[in-house]
Amino acid sequence: MNTINTNIQYPTRLANVAEIIFSNVDKLTLPGEIQVRLCNYTDVYNNRRIDGRLHFKRGTATPREIERFRLFKGDVVITKDSESANDIAVPAYVAEDIPDLICGYHLAILRPKIGMLDGRFLAQLLQLHHIRQYFATLANGITRFGLGTAAINEANITLPNVAIQRKIADILTTWDEALEKLDALIAAKEHRRKALMQQLLTGQKRVKGFIDKWRTPELGSVVKPISRPVPKPDEPFLAAGIRSHGKGVFLKQGFNPSEIALDELFQLRTDDLVVNITFAWEGALAIVPPEANGALVSHRFPAFLCEEGKAALGFIRHLIRTKHFVFLCGLSSPGGAGRNRVLSKTSFLKIAVRMPSFPEQTAIANILDTCDEELRIIRGQRAAVDRQKRGLMQRLLTGRVRVRPEKESRLA
């Protein structure tokens, strides 16, 4: 059995192995043009693969544009300009022929030459970190970066034999399919969690065994303000901040006290409800996790404690992430946009919240916590598969391992 070593590679200009086509289809509808589907920047940037699952925007093109910029199975589409040089040459592989699909503006088509380049291999190669950095160095611009035709034509890549390209592409495609299945599972779990949040946190769906009527108390009757003032430390300390959109607490280790012009700070404790009053209107609220216990914040981060027997911590954790609660925080934040829109703590405590009995709150929290835990586990699995795939890419696409193109692939 013959063995082809991927260490036997040859450098070449990209233009030698692919036809490079810059699209300019991006304009208003003109008389006589034909309706088409447009593959746009976001379609490429957000997907590894272009196929019929995607929902393409409608547009129009001339017969000449359709002939020139039509996408075919085997093509690779890349981003040719962006606001960041690091987003240059992001690839997506065209996995199937899609009728009337035209490559849109801000993109370039790399059409492999038969017998010289496999499109799936090229799409994987362009994902490598050092290749991405290489294309970033070729981009020109100050506020917006772009690749010119000459830069792409002259770009140097190193390739193995096309048979080896196909076998490597087969291997890596298997990993991509596993990632896509995990992505689909995550999306389904997220959809289910959102539906349950909407139903359970509004009383549309009741937990089995509970029939008591829900109440609508003011927030201030179920949570109470808590303040733990401390002098600003002289030495670096653990500081905390709150991300918007319900994304939790972030920590700043070794925060330099000279960077804050306050003499007094406030200490957080595990399970506090903490609010960033500057950005409460966009969901900057969180329950303090154990790793943030003892972290210091300014007066712009008031904390609250759930009243025992009235507000279940888990229920509040999910409630503050709902769109409706964030909307009510916005109504309690007078002023203009951004930093001029500050939450009124008095109004915050007067927000009316629909709540069931304490035991049902706890039951609801347990259901939603289970959803969150399932998502955490699956995301962890996806991250592990992605790391493994990237390590395999680095070895296969740089020729550090051998593959056998006959029958099934074996790594040596």
pLDDT digits (tens, 9 = 90+) for 362-395: 999 999 999 999 999 999 999 999 999 999 999 9
pLDDT digits (tens, 9 = 90+) for 320-335: 999 999 999 999 998 7
237 within some domain:
yes
Secondary structure (DSSP) of 2-41: --B-TT--EEEEHHHHEEEEE--------TT-EEEEEE-H
Contacts of 241 (CB under 8 A, 6+ apart): 249, 250, 251, 252, 276, 297
63 within some domain:
yes
Give which of 379, 384, 392 is closest to 183, Cα–Cα.
Answer: 379
pLDDT digits (tens, 9 = 90+) for 256-287: 999 999 999 999 999 999 999 999 999 999 99
291 within some domain:
yes
Please state the rounded mean pLDDT for residues 201-227. 96
Residue 253 in this model has a pLDDT that exceeds 80: yes
6 within some domain:
no
According to the model, what pLDDT value does residue 408 have?
A: 45
- Count Cβ atoms within 10 A of the Cβ of residue 375 and give its class: 0-12 exposed, 13-18 middle, 19 or more buried: middle
Q: Which of 112, 133, 159 represents a domain boundary (last residue)? A: 159
Comparing 25-39, 55-69, 87-101, 269-283, which segment has the lowest mean pLDDT?
25-39
98 within some domain:
yes
pTM, full prediction: 0.81
Residue 2 in this model has a pLDDT that exceeds 50: no
According to the model, what pLDDT value does residue 339 have?
A: 65
Give which of 240, 239, 230, 276 is closest to 257, Cα–Cα.
Answer: 239
Q: Are 227 and 333 members of one domain?
A: yes
Residue 179 in this model has a pLDDT that exceeds 60: yes
Using pLDDT thresholds of 50, 70 and 90, give the confidence band for residue 341. Answer: confident
113 within some domain:
yes
According to the model, what pLDDT value does residue 27 have?
A: 61
Q: Are 152 and 16 members of one domain?
A: yes
223 within some domain:
yes
Using pLDDT thresholds of 50, 70 and 90, give the confidence band for residue 28. Answer: low
According to the model, what pLDDT value does residue 151 have?
A: 87
pLDDT digits (tens, 9 = 90+) for 73-116: 999 999 998 888 888 999 999 999 999 999 988 899 999 999 99
242 within some domain:
yes
Using pLDDT thresholds of 50, 70 and 90, give the confidence band for residue 60. Answer: confident
Q: Which domain holds residue 141?
A: 12-159
Q: Are 227 and 149 members of one domain?
A: no
Q: Are 244 and 118 members of one domain?
A: no
Q: What CATH number does residue 259 fall under?
A: 3.90.220.20
Please state the rounded mean pLDDT for residues 154-161. 90
According to the model, what pLDDT value does residue 406 have?
A: 58
According to the model, what pLDDT value does residue 143 have?
A: 80
According to the model, what pLDDT value does residue 95 have?
A: 95
According to the model, what pLDDT value does residue 3 have?
A: 41
Residue 1 in this model has a pLDDT that exceeds 90: no
According to the model, what pLDDT value does residue 31 have?
A: 72
Using pLDDT thresholds of 50, 70 and 90, give the confidence band for residue 247. Answer: very high
Q: Which of 304, 327, 355 represents a domain boundary (last residue)? A: 355
Mean pLDDT of the chain: 91
Number of domains the chain is built from: 2
Q: How far is CA 168 from CA 15, 178, 378, in A?
A: 22, 16, 27
Q: Which of 334, 355, 376 represents a domain boundary (last residue)? A: 355
Q: Are 152 and 20 members of one domain?
A: yes
